[in-house]
Amino acid sequence: MKNTLKTVSLLSLALVLGACGSGAPSTGTPSGVVAGGVNASALKATAMTGKWFVELEGDPTAISAQSIGSQQASFRTLAAQRGITYQEVMSYRTLFNGFSVEADEAEIGRISELPGVKSVYPVHKIPMPVTETVPMSQAAEMPDMYYARSMTGADVAQNELGLTGKGVKVGVIDTGIDVDHPAFAGRIVSQYDFVGNAYTGANTPVPGPTQDDCAGHGTHVAGIVGGNVAATSTFRGFKGVAPDVSFGAYRVFGCSGYTQEDVMVAALERAYSDGMQVVNLSIGSAFENWAETPSAIVGSRMVKKGMVVVASAGNSGRNGSYSMGGVTMGDNVISVASVDNSKIELQSFALSDGSKVAYYEGSGSPTAKIGANLTITKKASSTPATTNDGCTASGGFEANSLTGKAVLIRRGTCSFYEKASNAQKAGAAAVILYNNATGYLSPTVTGTPAVTIPVVFVSDMDGAKISGLIAGGVSVTFDGGKTAISNPTGNTLSDFTSYGASAELEQKPDLAAPGGSIISTYPLSVGDQTGYAVLSGTSMASPHVAGAAALMLQAYPNTQAKDMRGLLMNTATLRFYRNGATITNFPDYVQRQGAGMLDIVASYGNPVKVSPNKLSLGESATFATRNKVVVLKNTGATRQVYMARNVPAQTIGGTTLAPAASTAYASMTVNGQNVDTAGTEVIVPPFSEVELNVVVTPPAAAADKAQYGGMLSLGSKTGPSLVVPYSGFKGDYQSIQVLGNEIVDGQTYDFPALYSKRNDVFYAENATVTTPPEFTFASYAADPAKPTVLSTDRPSVLVQLSHQARRLDVDLLDANGTLIETLATQEYLGRNCTNNAAQKSDTCDIYNEYPWDGKLANGTNAANGSYKLRVRVLKALGDASNPADTETYTSQTFTVKR
């Protein structure tokens, strides 16, 4: 199969909409627009790179360098002989056999047909992860890596087990590492800059052997892996997970912007050639969640060649299920989800009784002036039970009653803005809001007229405390301090962490680690230049696991790379679901956390190996009950005794873009014994293997198309307990619709759609077109301000992919619907991140575009006449011989008139 002809375009929000929605004919069509079309004021291909991976047939890990060179030389010769125009950008010979090239869609189609070409894939943009720097200079009590280390057991591994990662080399592929930061002094043994400072992803990279980090993300990641610096009188001390590792620093981002997937693949090959034993990638390509895409292929081959590969699961959880992608999808690559830190740091003020109170600043109000000291007051009727404190309807505040004071107001009934505005009118110098429920909020006090006094928000407990102190007199001093508090969402999955499963229903991610609100090293020349910052993301979770892998390699240097995932996964601990309160009976989705939180000490002390390390059960339409054999291998001299139980996790119901939690759960038997409510004993003698026959039945009460899952829990009193996550799909996986519709300005349009860029018109599926649109294939200047930049008047099809697709074919038909030829085929497509044009961005595709250049496969021009375009999509895990597994769209008739 060939993988060709994909460009990605993004609908502008500035659409001039006709009356044709949901396939209805248009009325009142503007002059010059074909009836049935919808005007688009702009169509912008902001997510398109214009580059492609060309993969040749030979596996570079299985054939000689001479054979690879010969294959690549043959490709270049054949391309030249056939007059194919392209620009070679990079050549790969170690982990990927092929090239990245710049070429237009027509040339890519011809490249895909050359002998020896296995497949062609678009090169994706990879956005630089968003970072948030927190000023550190006035911090008195910081949320140290200590908290995150204690969550994983890294502190015990360092202090009691003597594990530091010494002798292990870890490659960090990211924004670089600050070579001047004392946390890495003398430990960066390999480095390469693939792009240069000025690279933004949209210009030409300038590689060079020297590198530094002017963006910050890579230094933060490396610090978590193994930063190490002693405290001095002027510099804060710090210690990462594996503080004695050596580093390889591979820079793939400039100071801003994004990078491209071909640059990342080059860095992966370099890290392998440099002999890195572990590599961390806190970057990825969301929604491309196939193990067969180029970066995932390279990750798989790195593990096959002996490198431990750790990658972040992604931060696209708010975009729904099946949202992972990139290297993290590779075979035996360790995919890491994020858990919120047990402690978070907030700004604080001091009370006159000497205590500190943490707070969030109000959005829309000024920051409190450091040093300001104010007496705290409240409305006479206000208590910690008042429901309408400070609201206009309850009388607000008397004029001048709050002059020069800070006023305490309880949340409830009216808006934060109304409360703050009323206080300001009464002369208050500041407002202290407090919660009427557990925890903290970040209040918004934007309105007209603006609130011009500081507004802060404290917890319900602190608010009640202050309320009780007011009668005896209490004041507040805004001293610029910070304090660490227990995180209300601590030890639960971060809301941004991405959902699995893979497009092929493999259980992903594999395990979780701290990623929410993590302090680590930061470039000395970036931010407030203190050398530290607090950031959140799966980017911060992945290096915890990379550091843990380094500790395990120090302890067990003969561990195979393919076995590291199970070593860390099967001793993890479950995280429970939080939605206002923890549901104690149901862990969070395994499709978000894998096996649960990393537990380094348990991994170190575990003599029993589990195979397989997870159970991907597939769809239940054909085989409702799944049988799996789990092998427990005891490598120690002590008998191990376990109690096997089923621990069902929450089931993912709802839709792909709007997942909803369900407590319908799967049932399980182990060796014929039901383990849903009571366990069954499993004994593994010394130096022996025991097989467990595990049978899982999907939840009957779950909705169709739900993802279910849970854990085979092996509780032990003789050693570390073990977990084996399982996941499956309820019903017919191919019943998920792939070809979706598009929402523009709140109106839904039937897609796919025929599109004319020159006329700036698309024709929704099934819309009536009274006069077929004409295409001349002539060149024209799409932008009058850029007359030398030419486009071609050609038809294309806009396709909204609501789910991943195994293959997509674009066919050329005559006016009667008879196939002339297949123009293009693309394999292993990721879904679009949304179907709503209002949510598009430079890296969030809302549809794919498939244009036709007017040529036939032999390179000749198609004759003038009437044609149609057809799209056929084979669904993920679909059977090409089963018509029900293929969705088809056929465009309206159009005319070629040269």
> In 3D, which of 760, 240, 218 has the Cα closest to residue 519?
240
What letter would DSSP give residue 29? P
**Residue that the structure tokens 């609501």 belong to:** 802
Q: Is 181 a catalytic residue?
A: no
Q: How far is CA 513 from the centre of its chain?
A: 15
> In 3D, which of 764, 843, 744, 847 has the Cα closest to residue 802?
847
Of the residues 124, 217, 544, 803, only one is catalytic, namely: 217
Of the residues 539, 662, 756, 796, only one is catalytic, namely: 539
What letter would DSSP give residue 182? G
**Beta-bridge partners for 409:** 433
**Residue that the structure tokens 């089931």 belong to:** 651
What letter would DSSP give residue 892? P
Q: Is 124 a catalytic residue?
A: no
Q: In the structure, how many helices (H) and strands (E) does the chain have? A: 13, 56
User: Which DSSP string corresponds to 501-540?
Assistant: --TT------EEEEEESEEEE--TTSTTSSSEEEE-SHHH
What letter would DSSP give residue 138? T
Angle at 579 between CA 576 and CA 580, to 5 degrees: 115
544/549 Cα distance (integer angstroms): 9
721/675 Cα distance (integer angstroms): 16
In three-state secondary structure terms, 431 is strand
765/770 Cα distance (integer angstroms): 14
In terms of residues, how long is the chain? 898
Cis (ω within 30 of 0) for the bond into 501? yes
What letter would DSSP give residue 414? B
Of the residues 9, 100, 155, 174, only one is catalytic, namely: 174
Beta strands in 426-572 (DSSP E): 430-434, 455-458, 475-486, 511-516, 518-521, 532-535
**Beta-bridge partners for 797:** 754, 850
Q: Is 353 a catalytic residue?
A: no
Rg of the chain over CA atoms, in angstroms?
Answer: 30
> In 3D, which of 722, 526, 703 has the Cα closest to residue 642?
722
254/260 Cα distance (integer angstroms): 11
Residues classed as catalytic: 174, 217, 539
